[in-house]
Amino acid sequence: MTGFSSWAGAGAIVVALAACGHEQPFQNRNAALDSTFGGGPDRQLTFNPAADVRPAWLSDGSGLIYSYEGLSGTVHDRCLAILPQAGGTRRELPCGTSQQSQDSVDAFSEAAPGPDGKLLFTREWSLPGDINPRRGELELSTVSKPGSATTVLTFPYTATNGHLHSGISHIRWLSPTRAIYLASTLTYPRPCSTCEADTVSTGIELVELDLSGATPTIQPIPGTDSASSVDVGATGDEIFFTRNGDSRVYQMDLSSGVSIVAHDFGSSGIARDVAVFGNQLYAVVGGHVDYVVDPLLGPSQLDRGGKLFIADLINGTDSWRIVDSRLFKRPVISPQRDRLVAESFPITVLPGGADTVISRSSDLWLLDLP
Amino acid sequence: MKRTALLGLALLLVPGPLLAQTTGAISGHVRNAATGTGVALARVSVDAGGNYGTSDTSGGYRIRGVQVGWHRVTARLIGFRGEIRDSVLVRSGATTILDFSLNPAPTVLEPIVVRAVDSVLDPFATATTQRITAADLRQLPVSSLDEALALSAGAVGESYRGGRLGQQSFILDGLGVKNQLDASTGPLGVRLPPDILQEASLTTNAFSARYGQALSGLINVVTKDGGEELQGRAAYETDRPLGHGWDYGLDRLLLQVDGPLVGKIGFLAAFDATGRLDADPVSAPASGIPRDPRDREPWLLPHNSGETYDFAGKLTIPLNSRQTLRLLGIRSLEQRLLFDPAYKYDTGFAPGQRVSGTLLSAHLQNTLSLGERAMIVDARLGYFGRDFTRGTLTEEADPKFGGFTGSRFHFVGEDIARSRDTASANAIIPGFIAPQLSQNSPWGVPAFFLGSGSRGDVAWNYFRELRGQLDVTYGAGQNFDLYFGGQYAAQKVETFQRVLGFLPAGDSVPGATTSAFTPHIWSVYTEGQARLNDLAFTVGIRAEHFDGGSSVNTAQVDNGRFGARTTVNPRIAVSTILRGATLVASYGKFSQPPDFQYLVDAAFDDTTRTGRFRRGNPDLGFERATQFEFSLRVRPATHSSLRIGVYGKRLDGMVASVPLGVDPDSTVFALTDYGSVRGLEITAEREMVSGFGGRIIYTLASATATSTNAFQLRQFKVDPITHDTTFPARVEFPLDFDRRHSLIAIVQAQVKDQAGPRIAGVQPFEGLEAAAIIRYSSGLPFSRTNAAGDTIIGAPNSARLPSTSTVDFLIRKPIRALGVGSGIYLDVRNLMNRRNIVAVRRDTGKPGLDEASIQTLASNAYLAHPEPIPYESPRYRPYADLDHNGYIEGQSELLPLFLAAARDFSQPLFVYDSPRLVRLGVEVLF
């Protein structure tokens, strides 16, 4: 090549080279799954042999946040994860566990996504052999960055009314700066002297949490003693709650403090884990639940799951959703009102009906709503 | 006898070697063209005339201190017609012989090209010097100075004559530059854009007493001065168009321009930027595992990219006719992402590294005339700084174009490291998260691969030096030259290392180590060269001193200081000519301070040594060497030459890492070993004549170390009869760079202008240049261990790697159009794509694990995590759920995944050398 043509050719090569794209290093080819394992109106979302608990819908309904128990190693931590709204591969959130704490149990739970992407959740930890958590914290962060959390309060603590609050559950947002939760007491009854102690969380009362100031403040809500669950109504001023050993669901106006009975499940059994959307009220009723008042330990409600009931608040009727061989806890309704997710416990009736075995580990189930 | 007499006369007139420096000399005779007799008092001047010599009564003259490069030399004398010689090449440390025949007529002749100087038979070149010119860098398939120097006899990469890395010294424009902190394990930190190179040379024998801080070799680099006309070069190299398996994401941009600036001030500026998505590619075979991303073809490694940026600028300022000031500045930055097999699928937590270096130097050359004698004084002042950081990046690197990120890396814990805040560093370092077993591998199972957090390492060190140097060259007569001078360097060293930063220090986590000390070195030397008939003698002596700057307040240590040392190193060389051959015998002692990194504690996981924690030794002294050599240089034909050299070298006071007590994970540095290196080097060369030239270099070497106690804890013998265990007091074993045989063949060819067949009116092969480098090397030694890796089998380094060979090829097509020179070239390394093995596992002696070991790895991993993997887990892989029940469970489903993961993780990668690498280049000369 000589002359201008060769020079132009070289220039063309430069241009061509600059226009080329590079081959990229290999990428992660493991695509996340985004559907349930099986079909049907009632679908199993999680298959974890250990516990999957405390589901909560993200505010836009795009997914669920819940607490799962890890299986790796001898210490089973509980961490938060997000599932696609139709099931699939969970996205595990930073658990805050470290090699340093590998001999402790870290439990992240009770996640409550709120407005503006905020996220309240509890964090507790204990050492092997402990029967109760050494320390618990209520943390505030965001769904996008749950690892950068600030501690709102630590528990156990003694409330202004003198009650000892050992646990926190059923966290619900009332507004962007206010939330409500169920304060509870923890007891550890042993069925026999050599039996493993069980952990029984029994509600004491509802507490309002105010995050508007520089320092969070809490205030027990009068008239909510013995509460066992809570959900927020159409407005942030209206709550529905249940009480230990009680079949009724109460409706309270927070401003006035006036409460009424919203629905009574009557002979169906003790009502708890209420979830309300519009005029529909879901609750776990009956099933394997015992309410006792121990002379030493005081009142305690041992709940191994119950039937999933739906009540119509307009006409006062109710019915229960039949799902074979399963008991439920903690139902939550999707923002679109078309789905419900709950902890589900398989039950096995031994041959001859001599006894019934209820699994201690739950999976999450997804139920389509009518 | 007549020839001997002539040579003897030449010996009287030719100056001695100015070894390994930025200048050379011009010498010769000025004769009367009419009578052939010598002409006295003729003035022979270089370039503008600032540097000149005057012929003596025999017509002999000598000009010292001539800057390396091309010059115009003029001889004048009233009553004679002056004569100008253009394009006179002066090489560093060498004497260019240039004779003039002046006609008795006052007319200036047109410039003529001087004849080539026969450096082969130059009896005064006592050093074993191998030169690399700027043309070599362009015409050979090499792309850096290091690669070019590796073509020298006795070189094994950057190891020379059996020395370990870092035992060489780097002289840039006459100023010593050395990474005294960790030269044995780290780079210099500054790189020269190749286009600023005038000439580089490697000297491996008794180099001048003028230079120290080296045991194995002296790399002398001379940079260009700005030319009289604006000129430059721009080039772009890439492998982009080559597609799958050939595209390693290379981009390289080279720019260089030089010329006059203001008045007679010349400038030179150069820029070299290189980026590659896989900066350290390997020719490892495919794993053979489906779903392994490297299964289909040897592919580039993730998180293994690199980018380098090198800037250089130089001003040449003639202050007056006898004084020249040169200012040079170089700034280099290298950033690397480092592939870690454990983070193959979570590359965001794999380590990165940044090395930056700055060099600033000023050189004032003053030529003094003391009557008929000349004295040249070179005063140099230099600053060298090097900053090294390795650790976890605060943000994952985001390449903007190929391997270029265009941004500076930042590291977790870097602030703590720079402040050497051990109080903060011994707590958990913010930003570090404990790693968990990865969920992102194709195998899903919790084994081998890591994610969620990095290893928690951060290493930082900073070395800076201010060096002053004064060199005096004094011509004390026709038969004697004298050189003397000295240097002083004040240094500052700061180091910091922390491992497992996501855990607090204590228990099994070593604490952060840090140091800050201010060593200094000084040296003085004198060297004389004398000529006596056929013999030329060079005798020099150099005193070197270093003080590590460590101090303690204890009466047990003299003056409360550790490590201050002084050595005296004599050097001598004798050369003569015997029947058309030049014979040189040389002897010298050399010394260099140890790497300063050995003076301080280290807490890092250095797999090339022993253990996670090493105790430094502030009382280390010099490493020393004594070397003698005989070399013979002959010219069997007009354009060919043969060089043969034999040498012996004894190494003393070698730094070794010695077990501390019986704990194999703890070591201390000590000066315990001595070694010997013997070798034969043969270089046969045919100059580029009639479009063809070449060079063959053969090296035979033996480098062994003898240790009296370093390995006593590890090395024992069991008597087969008595079963007694004996610990030998002395162990001899090969040094790491004991490469026995090395053969390099370089072939160059060039098609002349207007030559070659004409096709469609075009001569496509016109001006075509091609070069090939063929290498063969026998294997390096390595140590075998037992399966547990805690016991060496046999003597250290008693096993050998297989031999290696490569063929590199370069073809260049010059193009000239529109009055601008340009060209395109194709550079191919390892043309035959040979899979060379450069390392093996010590436990197996092979590149990888055997099948049984892989099975054991997998089984152990399975037993550690037999738990089922549920459907929603990120570890769930649908293809492995054989019974489709939503769980990967049981041995039948889990174990194959663990086996695949073990095979994937343990596949050998960096035990293989580079694959075939191709680059296309386009250049424009202006």
Name the minimum distance, in Å, from the CA of A24 to any CA of chain B: 8
Q: How confident is the model at residue B216 (pLDDT cuts 50, 70, 90)?
A: confident
Q: Which among B320-324, B467-471, B730-734, B791-795 has the top mean pLDDT?
A: B467-471
Q: Concatenated DSSP letters for B260-282?
A: E-STT-EEEEEEEEEEESBSS--
* pLDDT the model gives residue B762: 76
Residue B863's SS3 state is helix
Q: Which residues pair with B686 in a beta bridge?
A: B640, B694
pLDDT for the residue numbered B105: 63
Record the tokens describing residue B58, joined without a space: 């025999």
Q: Is the pLDDT of residue A3 over 50?
A: no
* Residue A1 to residue B439, Cβ atoms within 8 A: no
Query: Token digits for B468?
Result: 């002053």
Residue B137's φ and ψ, nearest 5 degrees, are: -65, -30
- Tell if the CB–CB gap between A23 and B867 is shorter than 8 Å: no
| More confident call, B747 vs B133 | B747
Contact flag A14-B244 (C-beta cutoff 8 Å):
no
Are A2 and B817 inside 8 Å of each other by CB?
A: yes
CB contacts under 8 A, A 76-115 vs B, are: 83, 87-92, 94, 97-100
User: Would the CB atoms of B874 and A91 count as touching at under 8 Å?
Assistant: yes
Query: Is residue B771's pLDDT more than 80?
Result: yes
Q: Which residue has the higher pLDDT, A351 or A162?
A: A162
Dihedrals phi, psi of B708, to nearest 5 degrees: -90, -25
- Cβ–Cβ below 8 Å for A22 and B249: yes
pLDDT > 60? residue A24:
no
CA distances from B216 to B150, B176, B570, B589, B651 (A): 14, 15, 16, 11, 10
Residue B894: pLDDT band with limits 50, 70, 90: very high
The pLDDT score that the predictor gives to residue B77 is: 77
The span from the CA of B18 to the CA of B23, in Å, is 7
Q: Is the peptide bond between A216 and the residue preceding it cis, with omega within 30 degrees of 0?
A: no
Is B440 at the interface with chain A, CB within 8 A? yes
Distance, CA of B681 to CA of B95 (rounded, Å): 24
Region label for B47, one of left (φ > 0), alpha (ψ between -120 and 50) or beta (otherwise): left
Backbone angles phi, psi at B422, to 5 degrees: -70, -25
Of B210-219, B320-329, B360-369, B667-676, the least confident = B667-676
Name the residue of chain B whose CA is nearest to A48's CA.
B870
Whole-Å CA distances, B286 to A27, B218, B297, B298: 17, 41, 6, 6
Q: Cite the beta strand spans of B340-499 per DSSP E.
A: 351-370, 373-392, 436-437, 450-451, 458-475, 480-498
In one letter, which amino acid is A193?
S
State residue B727's pLDDT score.
57
Nearest C-alpha neighbor of B236 from the set B221, B251, B222: B251
Of A227-231, A236-240, B318-322, B556-560, the one with minimum mean pLDDT is B556-560
Closest CA relative to residue B164, chosen from B777, B595, B784: B595
Mean pLDDT of chain B: 82
Instruction: State how far the Cα of B88 lies from the Cα of B109, in Å rounded to an integer.
Output: 16
Residues within 8 A of B (CB atoms), A 21-50 only: 21-26, 28-30, 32-33, 37-38, 44-49
* Tens digit of each residue's pLDDT (9 = 90 or more) over B89-127: 787 777 777 888 887 764 444 433 333 345 566 655 666
pLDDT band at A332 (very low <50, low <70, confident <90, very high): very high
Question: Helix (H, G, I), strand (E, B), or coil: what is residue B290?
Answer: coil
| Residue contact B766–A2, C-beta within 8 A | yes
For A175-199, what is the mean pLDDT? Answer: 85
Mean residue pLDDT of chain A comes to 85
The residue in chain A having the minimum alpha-carbon distance to the alpha carbon of residue B300 is: A25
A1 pLDDT tier (thresholds 50, 70, 90): very low
By CA distance, what is B243's nearest residue in A? A23
Q: What is the pLDDT of residue B246?
A: 79
Mean pLDDT value of segment B735-748: 89
Residue ranges of B 491-550 with Cβ closer than 8 A to chain A: 502-504
pLDDT for res B262: 85
Using a 10 angstrom Cβ sphere, with 0-12 exposed, 13-18 middle and 19 or more buried, the burial of residue B852 is exposed
Q: Which of A355-359, B177-181, B286-290, B585-589 comes out lowest in average pLDDT?
A: A355-359
d(CA B326, CA B268): 11
Q: What pLDDT is attached to residue B248?
A: 85
Residue in A16, A28, A37 nearest the CB of B871: A37
**pLDDT confidence tier of residue A44, bands split at 50, 70 and 90:** very high
Name the residue among B249, B865, B868 with its Cβ closest to that of A49: B868
B769/B752 Cα distance (integer angstroms):
9
Reported as a single tens digit per residue, the pLDDT across A107-137 is 899 999 998 899 999 998 887 777 777 789 9
B158 touches B183 (CB < 8 A): no
The percentage of residues in chain B with a pLDDT greater than 70, rounded to a whole number, is: 84
The better pLDDT of the pair B648, B554 is held by: B648
Question: In this predicted structure, what is the pLDDT of residue B749?
Answer: 94
Lowest mean pLDDT among B19-23, B43-47, B795-799: B19-23
For residues A76 and A70, the answer to whether their CB atoms sit within 8 Å is: yes
CA distance A324 to chain B (A): 19
> Is some CB atom of chain A closer than 8 A to the CB atom of B300?
yes
pLDDT for res A203: 94
Q: Give pLDDT, residue B350.
A: 93
Residue numbers in B near A48 (CB within 8 A): 870, 872-873
pLDDT of residue B115: 39
Among candidate residues B378, B268, B269, B363, the one with its CA nearest the CA of residue B325: B363
CA distances from B194 to B143, B159, B272 (A): 8, 21, 8
Query: How many CB atoms within 10 Å of residue A345?
Result: 23
Chain B CB within 8 Å of residue A322 CB: no
With a CB cutoff of 8 Å and minimum separation 6, the contacts of B507 are none
Q: How far apart are CA A46 and CA A48, in angstroms?
A: 6
Q: Residue A130 gets which letter from DSSP?
A: -
Average pLDDT, integer, range B839-859: 90
* Cα-trace Rg, chain A: 25
Over the stretch B143-178, which tens digit does the pLDDT of each residue have?
888 888 888 777 766 677 767 777 788 888 888 888
Q: HSE (CB half, 13 Å, CA atoms) of B623?
A: 27
- Provide, as residue numbers in chain A, all residues whose Cβ is less than 8 Å from the Cβ of B867: 49, 71-72
Confidence check: pLDDT of B522 > 70: yes
Q: Which residues pair with residue A294 across a beta bridge?
A: A298
Rg from Cα positions in chain B: 30
Q: What residues of B are in contact with residue A90 (Cβ under 8 Å)?
A: 872-874
- Point out the residue among B240, B303, B816 whose CB comes nearest to the CB of A17: B240
Q: Is the pLDDT of residue A158 over 50?
A: yes
Q: How far apart are CA B580 and CA B596, in angstroms?
A: 47
Six token digits for residue B71 = 């010059």
CA A22 to chain centre: 46
Q: Is the pLDDT of residue B179 over 80?
A: yes
Asked if residue B680 lies in contact with residue B700, where contact means CB atoms within 8 angstroms, the answer is yes
Cβ(A146)–Cβ(A108) below 8 Å: no
ipTM entry: 0.88
Could you tell me where the DSSP H helices lie in B410-530?
414-419, 422-425
Summarised one tens digit per residue, pLDDT across range B805-847 is 999 999 999 887 777 788 999 999 999 999 999 889 888 889 9
Minimal Cβ distance to A14: which of B442, B876, B922: B922
Apex B591 CA angle, B168 and B171, nearest 5: 35
Of B236, B437, B442, the CB nearest to A29: B442
Range A199-206 average pLDDT: 91
| Residue B243 with chain A: CB contacts under 8 Å | 23
Kindly list the distances between the CA atom of residue A124 and the CA atoms of A9, A132, A167, A364, in Å, as whole numbers in the listed order.
70, 10, 10, 22
Nearby residues of B539 by Cβ (< 8 Å), 6 or more positions away: B527, B528, B529, B530, B570, B571, B572
B343 neighbors B373 (Cβ within 8 angstroms):
no
Q: State the burial class of residue A316 (Cβ atoms within 10 Å of its Cβ: 0-12, 13-18, 19+).
A: exposed
Q: Tell me which H or E stretch contains B569.
A: strand B565-578
**pLDDT band at residue B860 using 50, 70 and 90 as cut-offs:** very high
The DSSP bridge partners found for residue A322 are none
Give the three-class secondary structure for B743: strand
Cβ of B872 within 8 Å of Cβ of A22? The answer is no
A6: phi then psi, degrees, rounded to nearest 5 = -70, -40
- The mean pLDDT value for B629-658 works out to 83
pLDDT computed for residue B794 by the predictor:
74
Tell me the per-residue pLDDT of B46-96, one tens digit each, with 9 for 90 and over: 876 667 777 776 777 878 778 777 788 888 877 777 787 776 778 777 777
User: Is the pLDDT at A234 greater than 60, yes or no?
Assistant: yes
B819 Cβ under 8 Å from any chain A Cβ: no
- What is the rounded CA–CA span in Å between residue B482 and residue B473? 6
What would the pLDDT profile of B462-510 be if each residue is shown by its tens digit?
999 999 999 998 877 667 888 899 999 999 999 998 988 988 887 778 8
Query: Given the DSSP bridges, would you call strands B351-370 and B323-337 parallel, antiparallel or unpaired?
Result: antiparallel
Residue whose entry in the numeric block shows the structure tokens 């006459």:
B174
What integer is the mean pLDDT of B853-873? 94
Q: Which of B872, B877, B919 to mutate to test the interface with A (most CBs of A within 10 A)?
A: B872
